[in-house]
């Protein structure tokens, strides 16, 4: 299916996964920092 490969090349797909993973790590780090602040859960 040439349409699929044209819409999502392997490099774009891996880049999207990497960006999602980085976003998850940043979200976890932000949650950890928020838990250290007073008045937050």
The single residue listed with the structure tokens 């998850």 is 24
What is the rounded distance in angstroms from the CA atom of residue 9 to the CA atom of residue 13?
Answer: 6
* Contact yes or no for 9/3 (Cβ under 8 A): no
Give the tens place of pLDDT for each residue, 2-41: 565 566 667 788 888 898 888 888 888 877 777 777 765 5
CB atoms within 10 A of CB 14: 10
Give pLDDT, residue 27. 82
């Amino acid at each position: 299916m040439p349409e699929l490969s044209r819409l999502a090349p392997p490099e774009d797909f891996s880049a999207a996964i990497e960006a999602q993973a980085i976003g998850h790590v940043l979200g976890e780090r932000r949650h950890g920092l928020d838990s250290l602040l007073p008045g937050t859960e």
